[in-house]
Amino acid sequence: MNIKKYTLDKTLLLKFQGALMGTFTGDALGMPFEGLSAGKIARGFGRIEDMVEARLGAGTYTDDTEMMIGLAEILAEHGHVQPQALAGRLVYNFNGDRGYGGGSLKVLRALKEGVPWDQAPKAAFAEGSMGNGAAMRIAPVGVLNHHDLEQLEKEAEISAKVTHTHPLGVEGAKLQALAVGLAAKEDSKERVDSARFLEELKIYTKETSFNNALNCADRLLARYHDPETIANELGNEVTALRSVPASIYCFLKFNGDFKKSVSEAVSLGGDTDTIGAMTGALAGAHLGVNAIPAEWLDALENGEKGRDYVMELGRRLYKIWEQ
């Protein structure tokens, strides 16, 4: 049990909102570049520092944020992950224009047809999905349980298993949730000690492949490497193993600077919306929502479940934590 309550409640509220809005912002910034290589992004666009036009408009979100909203809603209503309710909410919130992963599409279809939540993930892959879909939405679990890392792990696992049951899909979600929780516990006015942060993550991470990737991130952080090298070494793909460690790297490389961390994440190419979303969640949990550039926040969609709604979800989660 690892309990650390904050006395600066305002700071913690901003961290809750930062984790959720960081997911949203990174997702929206990266989405227009999803599938492009690091080299193509560098040559064609340079550094990505503005919300550019996208399929649903500049500043719009994808499946990453839509699923994160569903998870945050369930936590705000129940105080914990209720898997049946989560399955129902993911189906209810589903918008096919948001660009879901093929496996998740099949799972959500099965759930809609009435397959029980603990059977539906088999609709995608017999051995379960190892995609990053469970990790990309996990920020609410990380901030809400940052004071109790054992509980955080349990909550991350159950939330992942509604769609992703492959050990690598589950472990990736747990690792990202832990990283969000640890980031929330760091002092927002201080830089994070990268080596210590990675060591702490490794205590909890059981899968050798993830531990190897965290060791690799540690080595890479020692000096500058271009985004193409980072993408080759740590990955920029849609699997959890080849995207969660890359996001942790981007957060730590430019830690203390939300804009640089998330811009670096998008520059890796490949799964840019998701690596952007996961990096944004980490930087937002550490620095708080006020660290997100105002011009990025202003550009975010603000319809029925848009910017104001997600900010309010962050506040509701914080109230649950306070209780």
Residue 55 or residue 206: which is nearer to Mg ion going by CB? 55
Stretch that binds ligand F2R, among 2-10, 124-132, 278-286, 312-320 (CB under 6 A): 124-132
Verify binding: residue 171, ligand F2R, rule CB under 6 A. Answer: no
Encoded amino acid at 21, one letter:
M
Verify binding: residue 34, ligand F2R, rule CB under 6 A. Answer: yes
Residue 27 or residue 186: which is nearer to Mg ion going by CB? 27
Verify binding: residue 274, Mg ion, rule CB under 5 A. Answer: yes
Verify binding: residue 261, Mg ion, rule CB under 5 A. Answer: no
Mention every residue, 6+ apart, whose C-beta is less than 8 A from residue 294: none
Q: How many angstroms separate the first and last alpha carbons of the chain?
A: 18
Give how far Cα 223 sits from Cα of 54, 74, 219, 306, Å.
Answer: 34, 41, 8, 38
Tell me which residue has tokens 């909890």: 204
Touching ligand F2R, residues 52-71 (CB under 6 A): 55, 62-64
Pairwise CA distance, residues 244 & 132, whole Å? 8
Verify binding: residue 273, ligand F2R, rule CB under 6 A. Answer: yes
Write each residue from 91 to 120 as x if it is in contact with ligand F2R (CB under 6 A), else as -, in one continuous string: --------xxxxxx----------------
Pairwise CA distance, residues 13 & 21, whole Å? 12
Is 193:185 a contact under the CB 8 Å cutoff? no
Touching ligand F2R, residues 188-247 (CB under 6 A): 238-239
CA geometry: angle at 235 spanning 25 and 96, to 5°? Answer: 50
Verify binding: residue 174, ligand F2R, rule CB under 6 A. Answer: no
Q: Would you state the structure tokens that stand for residue 210, as one six-digit string?
A: 């993830």
Touching ligand F2R, residues 132-151 (CB under 6 A): 132-133, 136
| Footprint on this chain of ligand F2R (rule: CB under 6 A) | 34-35, 55, 62-64, 99-104, 124-125, 127, 129-133, 136, 166, 238-239, 271, 273-274
